[in-house]
Amino acid sequence: MPRLCYPKCSLVRIMGWLQLVLGGFVIIVSLCCLFAFYSAGLYLHNDDISRHFDHAKDVYDGFDVKTLADRVEEVLEKMESLQNKLESAVQKMEKQKGEPGGSISRLEFKRYLEEEVIKPLYGAHIALRQIRLPKAEWIRNTTFKEEPLINYFVTEEIRKYITPKGNKNGKINIFGAKGIYNTIGHACVLMKKELEDYMDYDISSFCNDDWNLAQKLMLHGCDPLPRRRCLTRASKLYLKPYPINESLWKIPDGRNVRWSNYKCRNFECLSSKNPQRGYTKCSGCFEMEKEKLKWVQTSSLPVDFLIDEVLAIKPGEMRIGLDYSVGTGTFAARMREHNVTIISTALNLGAPFNEMIALRGLIPLYITPNQRLPFFDNTMDLIHTTAFMDGWMDLLLMDFMLFDWDRVLRPGGLLWIDKFFCSRSDLDDYMYMLLQFRYKKHKWVVSPKSKDEVYLSALLEKPPRSL
């Protein structure tokens, strides 16, 4: 009766294959373990290896060997239990051989494979893939520090989120860092020394003049920073700010800024004409004659949209919004004249961006790109971004940011991508990032910036999401 034999025979054959596959897995896992433990110095047989370990210790400083070992252990357990289950199933089938009703139906067989074999195998496979080993070149480079706690988490998305996103061009970005450190605060572990310096103060007395240390910690992923119980220093003389009908378009009084951590000592020095001004991004931003032209003066570039045009798309509907940019609040100032309240993100990148925005009578939001926006879902009428996102940005990072913007934008709200630029060859990738949300396109303009670079400006509307 060859037909009856079919499920049993092929089951046995498949079991054999599975065991082979499992065997392969076990070998890989064992190799991983060996490598990790060897590197961690758990098998020290001779002086050579000890010396290797002493050398490697610097590299592994911060690399979380324990959690790595835990993950490997977890995979091994999964594999072992799977193998036991398969073996006992085969034994059971051997016993039932010849008994009436001893063979299983195709359907049962399929269910068995899916539930009892493929699922746990897939689990083990994923767990194995998630194990991050230090790369060989990192071992050679003793100055490299493994990011802490990534192996502590099992969920792939957390791991993706907190893995630092290196700048695409490999250079230092506008924030003075090699990448963006999306954070759940874990990176404080990496900057123990700096964090300890930061938290080393006398309670209730004056804080050190160290906002730049605080900002450095934040930008490198120790974000949010702990609160402190000391008194922050102000400028020697603080004059009352100009009234709002004057402050929006006037360079503030320099005496209202504490200049000690900047290269410049007054606002005039921040002019783009001064090569020693101490900052590069948004170089004309401290010159009001230049700022006054933005978003109101028709330009020759089709990627320059005017505020009037944009607001005309949704008359009276735009009331509150966010400007995620590098600047001194000019967008918010113009929008204020249209009775729209805009919050402007700002970091003090070599110049007093936050102070300037606040002295103009606008709201600076001191936030790093590491962080989730402090707004609730579906609340903002408008998000505008310029001079911040451009071709340096890692795609996965951009994806996390755009989804966060999408979260806070209300249905019918507008996303204004203002002169985003990147190299021509990357444009498709970045365009996909924006198009994936299926927003309504009010405007979409691509125009050349230079020989290899292009600008993209877009005005997109978030659709209703009534689910």
Ligand X SMILES: *[C@@H]1O[C@H](CO)[C@@H](O)[C@H](O)[C@H]1NC(C)=O
Residue 396 Cβ vs ligand X, minimum distance, rounded to whole Å: 21
| Residue with smaller CB distance to ligand X, 58 or 94 | 58
Whether the Cβ atoms of residue 322 and residue 382 lie closer than 8 Å to each other: yes
Chosen residue from 243, 275, 315, 464 binding ligand X by CB under 6 A = 243
Q: Which is nearer to ligand X, 30 or 141 (CB)?
A: 141
Handedness of CA 152, 158, 159, 165 (dihedral sign): negative
* Strand 341-345 relative to strand 363-365, pairing: parallel
SS (H, E, C) 75-116: HHHHHHHHHHHHHHHHHHHHHHCCCCCCCCCHHHHHHHHHHH
Nearer of residues 137 and 196 to ligand X, judged by Cβ: 137
Centroid of chain to Cα 324: 15
Does residue number 87 form part of the binding site for ligand X (CB under 6 A)? no
Structure tokens, 430:
């970045």
Q: How far is the CB of 311 from ligand X (least distance, A)?
A: 9
Interactions with ligand X, residue window 305-344 (CB under 6 A): 338-339
Residue 412's H or E segment, with its range, is strand 409-423
* Segment interacting with ligand X (CB under 6 A) among 211-219, 238-246, 263-271, 321-329: 238-246
113's CB contacts (< 8 A; 6+ apart) are 14
Task: Tell me if 141 contacts ligand X by CB under 6 A.
Answer: yes
User: Based on CB atoms, which residue is closest to ligand X, 99 or 137?
Assistant: 137
Closest approach, Cβ 267 to ligand X, in A, equals 19
Cα R_g (the chain), whole angstroms: 29
Asked if 143 interacts with ligand X (CB under 6 A), we say: yes
Scanning residues 19 to 48, which ones bind ligand X (CB under 6 A)? none
Residues 144-163 that bind ligand X (CB under 6 A): 144
Report the nearest approach of ligand X to the CB of residue 229 (Å).
35
**Are β-strands 380-386 and 409-423 bridged in parallel, bridged antiparallel, or unpaired?**
parallel
Q: How far is the CB of 144 from ligand X (least distance, A)?
A: 6
Query: Which structure tokens are listed for 30?
Result: 């064992």
Q: Binding to ligand X by residue 436, rule CB under 6 A?
A: no
CA angle 340, 345, 351 (to 5 degrees): 120
Among 79-87, 138-146, 393-401, 443-451, which window interacts with ligand X (CB under 6 A)? 138-146
Give the nearer residue to ligand X in terms of CB position, either 163 or 235.
Answer: 163
- Among the listed ranges 140-148, 260-268, 293-301, 317-325, the one in contact with ligand X (CB under 6 A) is 140-148
30-53 as b/e, with b when 16 or more CB fall inside 10 Å? eebbeebebbbbeeeeeeeeeebb
Percentages (nearest 5) of helix, strand, coil residues in the chain: 45, 10, 45
Among the listed ranges 155-163, 190-198, 242-250, 369-377, the one in contact with ligand X (CB under 6 A) is 242-250
What residues form DSSP beta bridges with 458?
417, 444
Find the shortest distance in angstroms from Cβ 134 to ligand X: 13
By CB under 6 A, residue 245 contacts ligand X: yes
Which residue lies nearer to ligand X by CB, 138 or 366? 138
CB of 138 to ligand X, least distance (A): 9
CB of 340 to ligand X, least distance (A): 9
Shortest reach from residue 419's CB to ligand X, in Å: 24
- Residue 54 beta carbon to ligand X: minimum distance, rounded to whole angstroms: 19
- Asked if 292 touches ligand X (CB under 6 A), the answer is no
C-beta pairs of 101-108 under 8 Å, 24+ apart in sequence: 103/4, 103/7, 103/8, 104/7, 104/8, 104/11, 105/7, 106/7
CB closer to ligand X, 5 vs 296: 296
How far apart (Å, rounded) are the C-alpha atoms in residues 169 and 159?
23
Nearer to ligand X, 97 or 140 (CB): 140
Q: What residues make contact with ligand X under the rule CB under 6 A?
A: 137, 140-141, 143-144, 243, 245-246, 338-339
